[in-house]
Structure 1
Amino acid sequence: MESTAKPEKIGGMFRALRYRNYRLFFTGQGISLIGTWMQQIALSWLVYRLTDSVFLLGAVTFSSQIPSFLLGPFAGVFADRFNRQKILLITQGLSMVQASTLAFLVLTETIEVWHILSLSALLGTINAFDMATRQSFVVEMVDQREDLSNAIALNSSMFNMARLVGPSIAGVLIAAVGEGMCILINALSYIAVISSLLLMRLKPFVPVKTESKVFQSLKEGFAYAFSFPPIRTLILVVGLISLFGMPFSVFLPVFARDILHGGANTLGFLMGASGVGALSGALFLAQRKSVLGLGKVIIFTMSIFGLALIAFSFSKILILSLLLMLFTGFGMIVTMASCNTLLQTLVDDDKRGRVMSMYSTAFMGMAPIGSMLASSVAESIGVTYTLAACGFLCAICVVPLALSLPRLRKMVHPIYQRLGILPEIATGLQAASNLTAPPQKR
């Protein structure tokens, strides 16, 4: 097969872009994600404008994300058994239909809260399959395994560049022409990612021969991931951060309007500031040549994330709130992307979809539960104290992780001697120690 890599070298921070398929994916997905963030901001503002209810803000987030918790493991089985490119074409096409329907209802002023809840649940179901497949599809676009961690870091950079640009544009458009135009732009943006998928030149798909049933495959995936304490710790870290930390995004419309006394522009600025911090974190990871020391980095960034949330919850000054959002975005993305990078580096290809679906379930699946819990509590004690409690819980989660590092280091030492991967990655993971995969059968 003809190589998809460019003959010339691309700088270390962007080395994964030398692969044609990855460049296509990076460009198409980047355009689509700007639309996704525009829709998310528009929908949050629309719901709060129509209802003035913090609980309903949480309910919409819950309905859009709970399918990832319920269906994520099954989606991983699909990602391991079927052509991942075709799965993504289907999920992106269905997402385009969902956004178009939502845009029509908003633009014709016939939208009601039950429409939003139903369509959010539909999108969440689509995303459950899309996320598990997309996470495991990265390895098919990058020929050299040593560039995989860079590709994942660049994915995070792309995601957070869109997180910076999308809300900023949405804030202006909402004030000028309303929420419907933002959602319509998102529907059109799916053309870019669908086109990029169709233009890829991939190796012929070879179905995995398996006689095991779906539930047997699920059982194998769970046993593979959770029988080994280090990888179990990794998934737990992601789940806890999502459960206690992700609700902050649900509360941002409340902080923007009622605490900082702003409008849709203020909400866009807050999301944009978080995006700047997250983009900085993603670029910080992209410039790293190995994963050496990521264990300590994760402990540090989890602490930053929790403490920044506590400080933000009590801030009533826009400039200070924006600054704290920078630290929040940085801490969150470095923690999550580091976990993703180390999982992707070592997981067996035939179990990649299932393991990454567990990552997606921990990441996106725990968030709606946290959002509903936090929204319910906020109705009683207010968003300030609720968000402060969330930040405190994120911060103290660091303690058991830090205490377990020596034990985990001993467990992974013999594993990397048998894996036969690049020495610099093996050394880095041995030092990081808390994010690894189980021994492979020989």
Structure 2
Amino acid sequence: MRPTHSFQDLTRQRAFMRMWSARLFGTAGNQMLMVAVGWQMYGLTGSAWDLGLVGLYQFAPALLLTLVAGHVADRVHRGRIIAACLVTQASVALILVAATQGWGASASWASRELLLAVSVLLGVARAFQMPAQQALMPMLVPPAMLPRAMAFSSGGMQAAVIGGPALGGVIFVAGATAVYATCAFLFVAGSMLVAVLRYDHAPSPREPVSLRALLAGVEFVWRRKALLGAVSLDLFAVLLGGATALLPMFAKDILHVGAWGLGLLRAAPAAGALLASVVLTRWPLERRVGHTMLAAVALYGLCMAVFGLSGSFVLSLGALAISGGADMVSVVVRQTLMQIETPNAMRGRVSAVNSVFIGASNQLGEFESGATAALLGPVGSVLAGGLGTLLVAALWLKGFPALAHRDRMTE
């Protein structure tokens, strides 16, 4: 029996690495694509409003379609869903190559309307891709290895988040067409890796499509207080404590470091998260995971408060890097608990609920930061958000005992 188990383990490892590589290519391609689309939109219109619309046009379909996408992920082969989403993004990149380059003697036909239209397509692809990706991971690794796999996977994504925009900026020297062509190559490579992925696919029982079936993931999370606490804790922490939208103001008006400093400030949280993921991959959390998650969120809020009060560029970088590491601990605990507690037949819909929370916290968090900064100034906004995150962690400690007293990932 030993050779059989070894063969199964090797097959799983290969499948996991194919999926990890596909996510790496897809995330890097998406980050590069966003940099190029935003830069091209601003070059065409010079409007900050249009830059905001690019993000809104991607977020709206993701919000509207995510629950449907979760239902699809529980009924259709998840690898094929991911491959189709990557192909869709590759098609968008090729459309932008053609529009930017033009055909023959014809001039470029890239326009504001085209960039907004492809933003909608990217939002639709993201709506279906995220639940399928999250729900597929537990099928590729044994439950005991899931925390380590989640940390390793998150580390790869953080590397792509850091390296994607940087690589896109370098390639942009050769023009937007070169960036879009590179993105198309990365998306195609990722789709080919996922297309050959093999796992034990067992679709959920055929139930009629209904509102109750679509909302089954919401009901599942609501009834399991440990999951509800973990997902809502992350939502409020990012909603209150996020400072990404205000970084240009801090770089220019408070820290006086200019564009190069802004780039370092934006990269600092991802760098801290990458380091934390390496540590969690080597030494995964085994005990007191509930208290660890709450402590990580509290540390995140404290770091935001320090960043808001700091007048030192070095201290600000350190606070942001530590906040990224603390956030990574919270993400790994939340993602692992969600996948372990959810049966396979429900993972797509539960992952869809998680995707909605993530999208809402990121987008609404930027709006909250801007609104409070208009009232309190950037320092007051970030300080209030950090203190609010500390308060949320304290309230969740008492309000969600099932999460706070969770000892191991697998009970």
Given the two structures, how large is their TM-score scaled by the length of structure 2? 0.84
Query: What secondary structure does 1:428 align onto?
Result: coil
Instruction: Return 223-232 or 98-107, whichever deviates more.
Output: 98-107
Match of 1:199 in 2: 196
Match of 1:72 in 2: 66
Match of 1:99 in 2: 93
Instruction: Return 348-357 or 67-76, whichever deviates more.
Output: 67-76
Match of 1:165 in 2: 163
Question: Are positions 1:366 and 2:351 aligned together?
Answer: no
Match of 1:336 in 2: 331
The residue type paired with residue 151 of structure 2 is: A
Cα offsets for 1:411-430 (capped at 9, x unmatched): x7xxxxxxxxxxxxxx5148
Distance 1:68 1:289, change over 3 A: same
CA–CA distance in 1 between the matches of 2:113 and 2:149?
A: 39
Tell me how far 1:345 sits from its aligned partner.
1.4
Query: What secondary structure does 2:74 align onto?
Result: helix
Mapped contact 1:55–1:376 kept (Cα < 8 A): no
Tell me how far 1:52 sits from its aligned partner.
7.0
Match of 2:122 in 1: 123
Query: What secondary structure does 1:72 align onto?
Result: helix
The residue type paired with residue 292 of structure 1 is: R
Query: What secondary structure does 1:201 align onto?
Result: coil
Alignment of 1:181-260 (within 5 A): 181-203=178-200, 205-246=201-242, 248-253=243-248, 255-256=250-251, 260=256
Question: Are positions 1:428 and 2:408 aligned together?
Answer: yes
Query: What secondary structure does 2:208 align onto?
Result: coil
Mapped contact 1:103–1:184 kept (Cα < 8 A): yes
Query: What secondary structure does 1:397 align onto?
Result: helix
Cα offsets for 1:322-369 (capped at 9, x unmatched): 323212221222212210011111211111111111111111233223
CA–CA distance in 1 between the matches of 2:253 and 2:175?
A: 20
Pick the aligned partner of 1:349 from 344, 347, 359: 344
Distance 1:118 1:138, change over 3 A: same
Mapped contact 2:221–2:227 kept (Cα < 8 A): yes
Distance 1:408 1:320, change over 3 A: closer
Match of 1:283 in 2: 278
Question: Are positions 1:60 and 2:54 aligned together?
Answer: yes
Query: What secondary structure does 1:208 align onto?
Result: coil
Distance 1:185 1:93, change over 3 A: same
Cα root mean square deviation, aligned? 3.4
Tell me how far 1:19 sits from its aligned partner.
1.0
Distance 1:384 1:51, change over 3 A: farther
Distance 1:28 1:303, change over 3 A: same
CA–CA distance in 2 between the matches of 1:306 and 1:291?
A: 24
The residue type paired with residue 334 of structure 1 is: V
Match of 1:154 in 2: 152
Tell me how far 1:285 sits from its aligned partner.
2.2
Pick the aligned partner of 2:288 from 265, 285, 293: 293
Pick the aligned partner of 1:375 from 360, 370, 376: 370
CA–CA distance in 1 between the matches of 2:16 and 2:327?
A: 25
CA–CA distance in 2 between the matches of 1:38 and 1:317?
A: 30
Cα offsets for 1:106-133 (capped at 9, x unmatched): 6677655554444323312210110011
CA–CA distance in 1 between the matches of 2:177 and 2:313?
A: 27
Tell me how far 1:379 sits from its aligned partner.
5.4
Query: What secondary structure does 2:408 align onto?
Result: helix
Distance 1:101 1:231, change over 3 A: same
Tell me how far 1:69 sits from its aligned partner.
2.7
Cα offsets for 1:58-106 (capped at 9, x unmatched): 4433332233332222211111111111111111111112233345556
Question: Are positions 1:308 and 2:303 aligned together?
Answer: yes
Cα offsets for 1:26-47 (capped at 9, x unmatched): 1232233223223334445556
Distance 1:392 1:195, change over 3 A: same
Mapped contact 2:147–2:332 kept (Cα < 8 A): no
Alignment of 1:409-428 (within 5 A): 428=408
Question: Are positions 1:24 and 2:23 aligned together?
Answer: no
Cα offsets for 1:125-157 (capped at 9, x unmatched): 210110011100112222x22122222111101
